[in-house]
Amino acid sequence: MSKKNDKLEALDLNAYYGDFHALKGINIVMEEKAVTAFIGPSGCGKSTFLRTFNRMNDYIDGFRVDGQILLDGRDIYQKDVRVDELRKEVGMVFQKPNPFPKSIFENVVYGLKIQGIKKKSVLEEAAEQSLRHAALWEEVKDKLDKSALALSGGQQQRLCIARALAISPSVLLMDEPASALDPISTAKIEELIYDLKNDYTIVIVTHNMQQAGRVSDHTAFFYMGELVEYNKTKTMFTSPKEERTQNYITGRFG
C-alpha cells in the first residue's frame, strides 16, 4: 500500500475556555482516507479537539486557541480563512441526530441551497447521491417530502450524514455519532463509516472502546487535555506504551 498524504495536523495546539486550559500542547498528524478515533474519559478534551477542525468552538464565549491546525498544509485559524468555506471542506455529524424540522429533501440539500444553488435538477441529483452514499436512499426515496422528524433515530443520524456529504467535504468529523442509537442502528452506522473511508478522511470521537477497535485505523487517547498516546489502533489495543492508556482500555477508570 502506498504511503498516504497527511490530511490534518495539529501543531502545539492549546485551547482555553476562559481560564480553563482544555487542550494542552497537542501535536498530531492524521493521514487522508483513513479513520482516526479519539478516545478518553468524559471531559478529557476529545470533543473540544474535534471541534477545532471545523472551528465550531468559535461560537463559545471565552473560547480561544493558540498553535496551528493544518488542513492540507494550510492553517485554518489564519485570519483570511473563511469559516463557511472551511466547513464545506470539513463536514460534521453530531452526538444526537439533529435533523432540521423540515422535509427529508430540504435537509439534504440545505448546505447546497445556502451556497446559492437553486437548480432543481442539480439538487435532486445531489440528494439522491448523498442519500445512497449514506445507505438511506432505499428507505426514504418515496417520502422525500415528509418531515425528517418522522424518521427513526438511526435513520435521522444517517440523514445527518447524508446532509454532510451533500456539500462534498473531504473530511468528516463525527462526535460520538452512535451514542444515542440502539445496537442495530449503531451497527449500520459503523458499516457506513467503513464504506465512507474510501472517499473521506474521517475523525470520530467515541466513548465506546470496542467501536474504536472496530472502525478505526488509528487511535488517539486523550486524558485531562493531553494527547497521551497515538498509534495504529491494533498496536494501541494490544500493546499500549503508556500505563494510563492501558488503565483506560482495560477499564480501570473512565
Contacting residues toward another protein, per CB under 8 A = 54, 56, 59, 61, 83-88, 91-92, 94, 96, 98-102, 110-111, 113-115, 147, 149, 160, 163-164, 167
CB of 101 vs another protein, minimal distance in Å: 6
Nearer to another protein, 59 or 253 (CB): 59
CB of 29 vs another protein, minimal distance in Å: 24
Q: 93: how many CB neighbours lie within 10 A of its CB?
A: 26
Eight-state DSSP code of residue 252: S
CB of 253 vs another protein, minimal distance in Å: 29
Q: Rounded CA gap, 71 and 32, in Å?
A: 10
CB of 100 vs another protein, minimal distance in Å: 6
Grid cell listed for 253: 477508570
Nearer to another protein, 96 or 214 (CB): 96
Eight-state DSSP code of residue 254: -
Nearer to another protein, 85 or 243 (CB): 85
Eight-state DSSP code of residue 56: G
Which contiguous run of DSSP H or E holds residue 108? Answer: helix 104-113
Nearer to another protein, 87 or 218 (CB): 87
> Is residue 28 helix, strand or coil?
strand
